[in-house]
Structure 1
Amino acid sequence: MLAKVILDFGSARMRATTVAIPDPGPLERFLPESAPGCAFVRRGDGFVALGEVARFETDTLEAADVWWDEISDHIDHDSEMPGEFGTGPLAVGSFTFDPDRSEDLSVLIVPEVIVGRRGELSWMTRLGPAHRSTALPPVAEPTRRPGGLEVLGGSMGEGVWTDIVAEVVELIRRGEVHKVVLARDLLVRSDAPFDLRHLFGRLLAGYPMTWAYLVDGLVGATPELLLRRQGGLVTSRVLAGTVWKDAEGTDPLAKAAELARSQKDISEHEFAVESVASALAPYCQAMNVPEAPSVLKLPNVMHLATDITGVVCQEAGALTLAAALHPSAAVCGTPSHLALDIISELESLDRGRYAGPVGWVDTQGDGEWAIALRGGQVRATAPSEIQLFAGAGIVADSSPEAELAETAAKFVPMLQALGLD
């Protein structure tokens, strides 16, 4: 295990204060360009987080879970709204898809200031040894649109990628594995360091039904919630099976019917549902797994979707559950250990924190962790480059050309945010 504490509380007690505030308006307007900031927002609800009181870099969810438990024990929290979901001190993080095969580290950040909204409730939490101010942070400077953009291509050409898909299909048909999720990337360069706040705002506007996230250089808008733990309940939204808009402008209802009848997509979805249900079962006293999926409609694609719910054991916090669920068949394949080996051997791509958990946890173990999809990553060593990612689930009936088209559709949200649509 590799772990690195950048800032730490030491043995000192820390005081958190949470106060109710008037509706602050668009949360993203508080994100500054010049200082660390995180965000997790869906349909206007969620939070932005400013500053860092503590930061933990690691290669395992389990290590992050232990560290956060220790940090939580040092926090005294005064709140005007005790028990309200998502209020109070939080840890915000994103984790690598495969820590054994990535040069990136996962990160868990304890922010200094949080401004949040959920429904009619708005709040601010400040964390630190002497915080007493109830003033909102200042509205930040306007965001910068990227300029001089150049698409540099990916780690492999489209023809190479479709050849790999065909190779994986043969492995599946021979019975060596049931499903493998293959990803590809695009590198985009700007003439100046990216202002990720601009991309985040564009994603919020264009894809309000998704969970928009911004954590330590990772930005995107994902439709897939790995889990929400709220009190005694856990929910996981499973997405697998996809159709996308075509040039002919096919009626959306016809596309939805096509998806619901597609044996290939139904098979892919069933693998993903089974993997999540099996992973959650040891932590739940009871579970509900719908017999058939629904169709989730997004601006550019439709997915088969299943919401799994369970009554969770009290000792299983959100990070514990995320460690149990990741990687699911929706982003890896099944059996997962075989799919991971195939991905490592054939994909020729370091996914970094793409397709890993991204989200937050509170001091009681409640929280929300999504899967970092429809996004891109900017690394500190190359602030003028962003690596975009998209993936597709490969099963026995997969067509390499269709899977390539699916990844192209999944690049669209980030390309639109960049202004390259």
Structure 2
Amino acid sequence: MKPITITIALAGSYFVFAILLNSVGTVILQAINSLDVSKTQASVLEGYKDLSIAIMSFFVASFIPRIGYKIAMLMALSLVAVMCVLMPSIAEFYGFKLLFAVIGCSFAMMKIAVYSVIGQVTDNANSHSALLNTIEGVFMLGVLLGYWVFSGFIDNNNAQSNDWLNVYYLLAVMVGVALLAVLVAPIKTPVIRVSAGAQWQAFVAMLKLTYQPLVLIFIISAFLYVLIEQGVGTWLPTFNNQVLKLPVDVSIQLASLFAAALALGRLVAGQLLRFINWFSLLLGCLIAMAVLVLLVLPLTHEVDGSQISSVFDVPFAAYMLPLIGFFMAPLYPLLNSVMLSSLAKHQHAAMTGLIVVFSALGGTTGSVITGLVFDKFSGQYAFYLTLVPIGLLLVSVSIFKKMTLQPQYLAASAS
């Protein structure tokens, strides 16, 4: 019974964070509509979320075992619950900056704690992998549900109203339930103590890794991927509303297809990799992404969804753009897997730190650039711009593949 209560606590915590973390695209659209915020200003919300995750992950990694995983999880959930309760009263853009900074910092603590606690309820590699995949699956379910939760509080007839902020009362209740689940779960306090110099040593280890050519080209590739993913994913609700003229709630619901496509793409890729080489799959996905952008965006000029009231009545072209997530999905886990398997095991923690930091930087950069181009030109121009990082990613992945075949680079990475 004890492992079950711990599993419920971990999955429930990840579920509510999935909704909160991936609400940034919806909040950007609503900030533009109801708070009179420009697209350029709204784009910084991604940075408040991603950069706080990166910075907090680095600083708390060695601190959390000292205070205990359960306390860290309770702190994370409590902070987020307080912010959710306060949001309807604040109803200002600075409140959303603070909200996503708190969500980012709290998720950093939660992710480190959750990944560490999984080892308490599993006794071998297979059960560990199974539980981790289950919890990550619950996370994706939260991402999908989040779009529909927010859309249910939006009044299309009164776009300027702040009544949609009442969604945060519901989210506060959901966070409260997760908090109670953690409170009753028998999560053990870790016995291992981390030395005072561990943080500095981890930082030095990360810096040393960046000097290796194979790691450097991987970092560039990961940065470019997240730039594309966050640029498209974060701004898709706004694109649906302001370019395709769809109602706000339908725009948000339609954007959930992007998350669904990402989840499906990773499942399909897992099966395809049993039969084809990882590099061939990556190249095929990148080419398919570019083709989809070039084929679908011209069709969006003809879409006028102003009379549509249901996501099931949306024109075919509007469904096609979120499907870029299907081809995008395999890239990130594949790159991470190939890179980590090229390193010695004692370097995995430092490499994971680099992945978190540069993923955060890529996500923030993608959101800001897309928002700026969207604001100054149009949504079509902003999404056409994804062709640039797709092209650069083709080059960087090709170089990355070549390096993985050359013993001198692998030897340097494994040292």
Instruction: Judging by fraction of residues, say which structure has more strand.
Output: 1
TM-score (norm: length of structure 1)? 0.26
Instruction: Judging by fraction of residues, say which structure has more helix.
Output: 2
Larger RCO: 1 or 2 (CA < 8 Å, sep 6+): 2
